[in-house]
A and B are shown apart, each in its own frame.
Chain A
C-alpha cells in the first residue's frame, strides 16, 4: 500500500494516466480546496485592488486589512434565508446553480499545473475544457428563465447569444495554437493540455511569440473572448448592474447566489489556465531559452520560496504596524500567525525535492494570477459594451481575425 502511494512520487505521469487512483483522489481534493481558497482570495484581492485603483481603501474592518472579509461574507450568505420566487420553476431554478458550479469545477480535471500535476491527461484536453465550460451557459440560461422575471430573462438571452458567438472566435484561436503543436518531426499535433505545453518546451518558444505576431494575435483574440465567455467587464452585459439590476441571478439570494459567484470566479481561473497553457508556456518558468543553464535554473527555482518569504515579510511588517490597543490583540496575533504560515511555506519551498516537484505549480499559478489581475484591471478601466456592439466585435472583428490568423498560421507552418 505504502509502495503504491510512494511509487507515484517518482513517476513522471499524471495520476490519472498512471492509473493511480489514490493520488488522483488526492489531486481532486487538493484542486477543489485550492480553488475554493483561490476564489476567496480573489474576492478579497479584487475588492482591494479595485479600491486602490479608485482612491479608496476597500474592506478594512473584518480582520487586518479586511483579510477575513470574504469569510464573513461567505458566512452571511450561508445563513441567509433561502428565497425561491413563488412563480419560479422550482426544478430548473434549483438545478441551475448546481450545473454552473459543477461545470466550473469539472474543467479542472485536465488543467496541467505541472507535467505531473493534473488529475489526468486527456487526449482531448482542450476540447474537453472548452466543451464543459460551454455547458455553463446552460446554467445561466436556465437560471434566467426559471426566475420567471423580466430582468433575469433578458440577462439570460444576452448571455446565451454572447457566449455562443464568442465561443467561435475562441475556438478559432485555440485551433491556431493547436496547429502550432504539430510542427514537429512526425507532423502530428495534440489536443492534450500537457502535450501542448510539452510542444512549447520542444520548440523552445511560448506560442504567444511563435510566428510573431500571429501567436500574439491569436492570444489576443482568446484573451478578449475569454473575458466575454466569463461575463466580466467590459462584456458583463448579462449581469449589467446599471441596466438589468443583477441580470440572470437577480432572483437568487443566499447560498444559491454564492454558488453563481463561486462558479464565475472558478470559470475565470479555468479560462485563464487555458490561455496560460496554450500561449504562455504553462508551467514553464520565464525565459527558458535566453537565461538557460544550471545557474539560471537554480536561481529561478528559488523564486517561489523567495516570493513566499517576501509575502511573509510584508505580513510581519504589517503586524508590527498594527495598533497596539488591546482590542486588536487577536487580530495582531492572527496576522502574525498568517505570516508565520507563509514563512514556513517559503522555507519548505527551498528544500530541493519539494522545490523541484512544486515549482511548476508556482509558475503556472503566477501566470494565472497575472491573468486574473488583468480581469480586475479591465473592470476598473473600461465602460460596458452595448449589446449590438458586443456582437459586432465578436462577429465582425474577432471572427475574421481568427480565421485570418488560422490560415496564416497554417501557411507559416508549411513555409518555416
Chain B
C-alpha cells in the first residue's frame, strides 16, 4: 500500500514531538511533564513507523510509554505537588546551558553536512514485512556479542540497584 500524505504526517508528528518536548521542561507540575514526555515518546514511535521500522516503534511504545513512564508516574505521584510548585524551576546556569546547546547544535549541523557523504543517499531499503526478522538477524547474528554484553551490563545494573536500595536482602 502506498503511503498517504507522508509529508503532512511527518511535520505533524515532528511538531507534536517537539512541542510536547518543550512542555516537558516548562511545566511546573511534574505529572504534567511526565504526561507530555509520554506524548513526545508516542510521537517518536509514530515517526519510527514512518521510517518503515514497525518493530522499533512497537518496542518504543511497550518499553518507554507503557513501562518506564508508568514507573515514572508511579514515583512522581507520591511527590507532594504543592512543594514542587514552590520550588525554583530554573537555576542560574544559563551560560553553561547555552554553551552546551550551541555545541550540540553545531554537532547536528556537522553531521548533516558531512553525513551526506557518510550515508548513502536513500537509506537502506528494508522491506516492511521482514523488518522484525532483519532486526533479529542483526541482533542475534552480526552483533550477537555486543548484544549479550549489553544484557549482562543491564543485569549488573539491576543487581546493583537492588543491593543499594535494600539494606538487607
Contacts and interface: CB of A to CB of B under 8 A. Distances in A.
Interface of A: 16-17, 19, 89, 91-92, 122-124, 127-128, 130-132, 134-135, 137-138, 141-142, 144-145, 153, 156-157, 160-161, 163-164, 167, 188, 190-191
10 contacts: A19-B2, A124-B57, A124-B58, A127-B62, A138-B66, A141-B74, A142-B73, A157-B78, A160-B74, A164-B70
Nearest to A163: B70
A127 B128 CA distance: 15
A132 B61 contact: yes
Contact of A124 (B2, B29, B55): B55
B133 interface: yes
Contacts of B55: 123-124, 127
Given A164-B67, A167-B66, 20 more contacts: A17-B1, A89-B29, A92-B31, A123-B55, A123-B132, A124-B54, A124-B57, A128-B54, A128-B58, A131-B59, A131-B61, A134-B62, A135-B66, A137-B70, A141-B70, A141-B73, A141-B74, A142-B35, A156-B77, A191-B132
A122 B67 CA distance: 22
B54 A130 contact: no
B142 interface: no
Nearest to A161: B74
B59 to A, nearest CB: 7
Interface in B23-65: 29, 31-32, 35, 38, 54-55, 57-59, 61-62, 65
A91 B35 CA distance: 11
B66 A141 contact: no
Among all A-B residue pairs, the 6 with the closest Cβ atoms: A134-B66, A127-B58, A131-B61, A19-B1, A131-B62, A124-B58
A92 B35 contact: yes
Given A16-B1, A128-B58, A145-B77, A167 B31 contact: no
Contact of B65 (A138, A145, A156): A138
B6 interface: no
B14 interface: no
Nearest to B73: A141
A155 B142 CA distance: 46
A131 B62 CA distance: 4
Contacts of B61: 131-132, 134-135
B25 to A, nearest CB: 18
A141 B31 CA distance: 11
A105 B60 CA distance: 20
A416 B16 CA distance: 50
A89 B31 CA distance: 10
B84 to A, nearest CB: 13
A123 B74 contact: no
A124 B38 CA distance: 21
Nearest to B2: A19
B71 interface: yes
B56 to A, nearest CB: 9
A123 B32 contact: no
A131 B58 contact: yes
A157 B77 contact: yes
Nearest to A127: B58
Nearest to B78: A157
A188 B135 CA distance: 12
A406 B25 CA distance: 42
Contacts of A17: 1
B80 interface: no
B159 to A, nearest CB: 15
Contacts of A123: 54-55, 128-132
B60 to A, nearest CB: 8
A122 B129 CA distance: 8
B73 A167 contact: no
Nearest to B129: A123
A53 to B, nearest CB: 35
B70 A92 contact: no
A137 B66 contact: yes
Contacts of A131: 58-59, 61-62, 65-66
Contacts of A141: 70, 73-74, 77
A134 B42 CA distance: 13
A373 to B, nearest CB: 28
A164 B38 CA distance: 16
Contacts of A122: 54
Contacts of A144: 77
A341 to B, nearest CB: 37
A40 to B, nearest CB: 29
Contacts of A163: 70
Nearest to B55: A124
